[in-house]
Amino acid sequence: MAIHQDLFAYIEKSPTPFHAVAESARRLEQAGFAALNETENWSLVPGGKYYVTRNQSSLIAFVMPQTAGEGWRMSAAHSDSPSFKVKGASQQAGFTMLNTEGYGGMIRSAWLDRPLGIAGRVLVKTERGVKSRLVNLEGVSAVIPHLAIHFDRTVNDGHKYDLKKDMQAIFAGPDKNACYTELLARAAGCTPAEILGTDLQLYCKDKGQTVGGEAEFLLCPRLDDLGCAWATLWGFLGAPASRQGRVWCLFDNEEVGSGTRQGACGSFLPDVLARAGQALGENEQDRRRALANSLLLSADNGHAIHPNFAEMNDAASPVKLNGGVVLKFNASQKYTTNGVTGALFHSLCDTAKVPVQEYYNRPDLPGGSTLGNLLGAQVSVPMADIGLPQLAMHSCVEMTGAQDVQWLADACAAWFRADVRCNGDGCYQVAL
C-alpha cells in the first residue's frame, strides 16, 4: 500500500532525531508552513501555519486559531529511539573501533552482526562562527560482531551483554582514525581541522518491509516512535481550517526520561503556546480558557500480545496486531488516559470506523512511561495515550500490523479534523 511506503520513506530519511526533524520540516514546508526562529520576534496571524525547532532534534508545528481563548488540538510523539552514541574512534587489536555509549533501553543483542549506519550532526568552524550540518555516511557501515560460540558455549543460556565489552563497533582496519574524520568532514562539506564537535549515533540500515503470509505485518527500524510521529503528522497536515488552533509536537530524549531543554519536560511547548497566545492578544483569562478547552494525544506505541510469551500480557485485555489502535490506561497515570479522554477518543474513532484496543499492563508488571504524564506537568490539558500495537519494542527492528498503520493514520486525521468543544468539566460536544 502507498501509505506503508510513505511510512517507510519517512523512517528511512530519519536515522537520527536531527534527520527526523529535517524530514518533518521538509513535509511541513511543502504544505505551506513557515519556519520560525526562537531567537527572533514572531509575527503571527490568525490561521497562519508555522513551525519552530529546538536543538534541531525537536519540532513544534502549529496552525493559529482564529481568536484568543479558542484552545488547541494537539499531539505529541518523540523523535528518538534506543541507539548507540558514537564518542570517537580508537585503535584496538589491529582494528579501528568506534567507541560507543548506549542510549536508551535497547535490546542489545539485536544490534550485533548487522551493518550499522553512522549519522547525526557535525559542528563546523566557519568564518562567522559555528554551523551545524547534518551528515549520514552513505555507503559506510560499522559492525558489532558476536564472539564465536566456540569461545562462549553458554551464550544461548543467557548472555549478559556488557556495553563496554560487547557493544563496541568495528569501523575499519588499523590506523583509520584519520579516515573516519575525513569521511565526516567530506559529509559535512568541510576540512577535518574545521570540525569542532559532533553528535553522532549508530543506526539500523534495514529498510522497512512487509512480512507474513499475506503481507499483513510490517517490519521496520524505529517504529517506536517514528510510526506515531508519521501518523500524527499525516493527520495534522490533512486537517481543514478550524476555529481552534492545531499543534503537532515532536520531542527528543523520551527514551532517556525527557528531562532536557528539547524534551517533553522542557519549556518548549509552553513557550510556543505563550508566544502564539500573545500574538492573538490573549489576556490571562483567555490563556486559561484556551488551556481548559484544549486536548492532547500522547502518541507512543504499545505492546501487542506475543504468541511465544502470551502470559506477559494482561489476559483480561489482550492487544493484537491488526486489531486496531491502542488506547493505553494505567492506574498510576504513567499513561494519562482517563474515562473522559478515553471516551472522546472512542467517539472519534467510532465515527471514523477505526477499531480501538484498550491496553493495561499486567497488574504485577510495571510498564514504561511516555510523553503524556511528563508533558502534563508543563501544559495542564486533558490527554489520552495512544499508539500502534507492536512486537519487539526497543529491538533494532520492530514489528507492527499493516492494517494498524492505516487505522492510526485515520484516527489521527479524525482527531485533528473534529470540532470538540468543552461544555463544562468532563462534558464535551463533538462534531466531525
Domain ranges for the chain: 2-81+221-431, 83-204
pLDDT at position 422 is 86
Helix runs in 137-267, H state only: 177-188, 223-238
CB 234 within 8 A of CB 47: no
Which pLDDT belongs to residue 367? 72
Backbone angles phi, psi at 411, to 5 degrees: -65, -40
Asked whether the beta carbons of 13 and 23 are under 8 A apart, the reply is yes
Q: What's the pLDDT at 321? A: 97
Provide the pLDDT for residue 376: 85
Let me know if the fold of 2-81+221-431 is the same as that of 83-204.
no
Across-strand partners of 219? 209, 399
pLDDT score, position 431: 76
Q: What is the pTM of this model?
A: 0.95
pLDDT of residue 430: 84
pLDDT at 232: 98
Is residue 70 helix, strand or coil? Answer: coil
Other residues' Cβ atoms within 10 Å of the Cβ of residue 187? 18
pLDDT value at position 125? 96
Predicted pLDDT at 419: 86
Q: What CATH number does the domain located at 83-204 have?
A: 2.30.250.10
Q: Which helix (H) or strand (E) holds 87?
A: strand 83-92
pLDDT of residue 177: 83
d(CA 5, CA 12): 10
- Domain formed by 2-81+221-431, architecture: 3-Layer(aba) Sandwich (3.40)
Cβ atoms of 66 and 47 closer than 8 Å: yes
Give the chain's residues under pLDDT 50: none
